[in-house]
Amino acid sequence: MKAIKRLALLAASTIAVGAVVLIGQLFPNTPAGELASVLDTGYAASALRLAVPIAFAALGGIFAERSGVINIGLEGLLIVGAFTGVAVAHWTIGEGSVSLGPGIVLLLVIAALLAIAGALLGLLGDSLREIAVRGGGGVLAVAVLAGLTVALAGPTLAATWIAFYVAVLVSGAFSLLFAVVTIEYRADQVIAGLAVWLIALGAAPFASNVIWGSVNSPGVDTLGTWTVPLLSQLPAVGSVLFDAEPVVYFLLVATPLSWYVLTQTSFGYWVRASGENPKALDTAGVDVRRVRYAAVLISGVFSGIGGAGLSLGRVGNFVGSGTTMVDGRGWIGITAMLFGNYNPFGAFGASLLFAALDALQFRLQQLNYAIPDSLIQTVPYITVIVVLALVGRTRTPDAAGEHYDSDED
């Protein structure tokens, strides 16, 4: 029934947009015509770009919560990724002279520390051989990735990519800390998630002040765009899908890949069983603790990609004033996850809906209507509330938020 409601809502929205565009084409001098004039390929590209941090937060939240761990610290993880990316990029690039060595060393040190933490927590295996192979393999993979980046990109672009990798690993480290607190020490997951958010919300602007003397950073180079030859020349979709920022491509790959992993692989089955019936999973011989750690780490990695993609994708700086440049996108990601009913495709669609409304409110401000900008800015949030009210309640995993101990009777 809820799926029918979601499809009906999607169909109604599509028909409404189509009607506005059609009326606008027929009567260009009307308000509908002015509104239709902003619904161009540039608007579509902007909506897809704005969806990146929201959708990655939603995908990460799906993995964590379907495993039984409620991670509402996604907003904080986005902030960590956004700040770290800019800070490392500024450190490696400096005032114009690029120094890749420190960034690569930092990347490898963080990867090694994560491997050591995984070994201490028993996440890499039970034997020394398993720990050495998996931990060393992970560090080696990071080293190879860094080497390929330096070989394929110029010094400045390589430094920005190294900063992006570091941001993803640091966000993963924060999520690992959250996992330790909630899984090992059985802390309340909601309170721990709020703590991650509040720590990031305070620490990032403070660190910005220490580094740059302001809560806002100076500008750094971005990741640029990837243009696919020939395909980028296609009408309508070419400039939207095939001439975009790298993180947009990552999102378009991560969404179907997440669906495949969750629905078609053994690991996905373990994640879902961990959130629905962890006792049965434990009885089948699968370590519930390891599955939950892996799922929470995935949420941290995805959030790191979303946060670093936000700051290094096109903006090229970190804004730490107010609620920072993340500005509630992690919370909207949680809403998109619920609206999508823990389905990656549904979460992506919900993220794109909010991002499209967010992009629309920017365009509406350019039309100079006699409507206060503050009122126009509320359009995305009001729409999300209305959508949630129409769709109804989403069923959460049965064991979400519950601690599990395999030693329990």
Q: Is it the case that residue 98 has pLDDT exceeding 70?
A: yes
Average pLDDT score over residue span 258-267: 96
Confidence band of 167 (pLDDT split at 50, 70, 90): very high
User: Buried b vs exposed e over 279-310: b needs ≥16 C-beta within 10 Å?
Assistant: eebbeeebbbbbbbbbbbbbbbbbbbbbbbbb
Average pLDDT score over residue span 81-98: 88
pTM of the model: 0.91
Rounded to 5, what percent of the chain is helix, strand, coil? 75, 0, 25
Confidence band of 409 (pLDDT split at 50, 70, 90): very low
Burial of 207 (0-12, 13-18, 19+ CB in 10 A): middle
> pLDDT tens digit string along 31-55?
555 566 667 778 888 889 999 999 9
Crossing angle of helices 189-212 and 74-93, in 10° steps, is 20
> pLDDT tens digit string along 7-18?
566 566 666 655
